[in-house]
């Protein structure tokens, strides 16, 4: 069992106060969702706490780290390098934090743009990041919170629809992995209904 307090202290040295506080809230929110949906709570705690481990890196550092790790980069990653803090975070956790649990690494890696075939742990982290209690209010937030408690797949679809609306309004591109995730969750929903 990892020493979670040790990991918290190490993370605190790395992130500014606001981001560290967000990480602690995402950890709690992830444990809460994990509990409700039968997901391993220890993994949810670790992945939630550490999901933003690379959030302090700037665009240039993120692109350099991604290239060094030979991550496949698409146009959207280059246009919005901030998205890379998720996959680069997973690499940092693996290489520097001795975290070798594949499911935790994947959940961290997928928390910005999502993916098709996400594990329940990945869905928990993605949603916890969006709904943690410190998030600024937006019109669909309460509905997303309620849906996250009830049904992870339906909540993922709702979350992605909201993200797409937001990006379209801002005239920003949608990452291909997010499209793939959207199609995946939409298919799941239509076969469930
Ligand atoms: Fe993040
Ligand atoms: Fe976050």
Looking at the predicted structure, is the pLDDT value of residue 36 above 70? yes
What is the 184 CA–ligand 2 centroid distance (Å)? 23
* Reported confidence tier of residue 1, pLDDT bands at 50, 70, 90: very low
Whether residue 155 is contained in a domain is answered as no
What is the 27 CA–ligand 1 centroid distance (Å)? 12
Residue 61 belongs to what domain range? 4-137
User: How many domains, the chain?
Assistant: 1
pLDDT > 90 fraction of the chain, expressed in percent and rounded: 97
What is the 192 CA–ligand 1 centroid distance (Å)? 30
129 Cβ contact list (under 8 Å, min separation 6): 26, 51, 111
Q: From CA 54, how far away is CA 132, in angstroms rounded? A: 19
What is the 185 CA–ligand 1 centroid distance (Å)? 21
Q: For 126-165, give the DSSP string.
A: HHHHHH-TTSPP-TTHHHHHHHHHH-HHHHHHHHHHHHHH
Q: What is the mean pLDDT of residues 32-57?
A: 98
What is the 189 CA–ligand 2 centroid distance (Å)? 26
Whether residue 21 is contained in a domain is answered as yes
Whether residue 41 is contained in a domain is answered as yes
What pLDDT score was predicted for residue 104?
A: 98
Q: Which ligand is nearest to the CA of 131?
A: 2
CATH code assigned at 103: 1.10.3210.10
Whether residue 40 is contained in a domain is answered as yes
Q: Which long-range contacts (CB under 8 A, 24 or more apart) does 29-35 make?
A: 29/128, 29/131, 29/132, 29/133, 30/124, 30/125, 30/128, 32/128, 33/124, 33/127, 33/128, 33/148, 33/149, 33/152, 34/121, 34/124
Whether residue 59 is contained in a domain is answered as yes
Q: What is the mean pLDDT of residues 160-166?
A: 97
Whether residue 75 is contained in a domain is answered as yes
Whether residue 158 is contained in a domain is answered as no
Contact between 158 and 64 under an 8 Å Cβ cutoff? The reply is no
Q: Which ligand is nearest to the CA of 54?
A: 1
Per-residue model confidence as pLDDT tens digits over 137-156: 999 999 999 999 999 999 99
Q: Which two tokens stand for residue 106?
A: 């994947």
Q: From CA 19, how far away is CA 103, in angstroms rounded? A: 23
Measured between alpha carbons, how far apart are the two ends of the chain, in Å? 40
**pTM for this predicted structure:** 0.96
Per-residue model confidence as pLDDT tens digits over 78-117: 999 999 999 999 999 999 999 999 999 999 999 999 999 9
Looking at the predicted structure, is the pLDDT value of residue 67 above 90? yes
Whether residue 174 is contained in a domain is answered as no
3-state helix, strand, coil in the chain (%, to 5): 70, 0, 30
What is the 193 CA–ligand 1 centroid distance (Å)? 32
What is the 156 CA–ligand 2 centroid distance (Å)? 16
What is the 23 CA–ligand 2 centroid distance (Å)? 6
CA within 13 Å, CB half, 167? 15
* Reported confidence tier of residue 2, pLDDT bands at 50, 70, 90: low
**DSSP label at residue 55:** T
The owner of tokens 């996959």 is 87
């Amino acid at each position: 069992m990892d020493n979670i307090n040790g990991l918290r202290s190490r993370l605190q040295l790395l992130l500014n106060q606001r981001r560290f506080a967000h990480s602690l809230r995402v950890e709690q929110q992830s444990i809460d969702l994990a509990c409700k949906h039968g997901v391993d709570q220890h993994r949810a705690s670790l992945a939630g706490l550490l999901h933003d481990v690379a959030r302090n890196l700037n665009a240039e550092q993120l692109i350099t780290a991604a290239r060094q790790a030979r991550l496949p980069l698409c146009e959207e990653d280059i246009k919005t390098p901030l998205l890379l803090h998720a996959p680069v975070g997973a690499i940092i956790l693996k290489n520097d934090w001795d975290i070798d649990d594949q499911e935790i690494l994947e959940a961290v890696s997928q928390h910005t743009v999502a993916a098709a075939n996400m594990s329940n742990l990945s869905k928990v982290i993605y949603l916890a990041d969006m709904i943690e209690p410190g998030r600024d209010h937006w019109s669909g937030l309460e509905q997303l919170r309620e849906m996250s408690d009830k049904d992870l797949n339906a909540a993922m679809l709702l979350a992605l629809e909201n993200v797409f609306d937001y990006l379209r309004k801002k005239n920003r591109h949608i990452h291909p992995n997010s499209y793939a995730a959207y199609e995946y969750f939409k298919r799941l929903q239509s076969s469930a209904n």
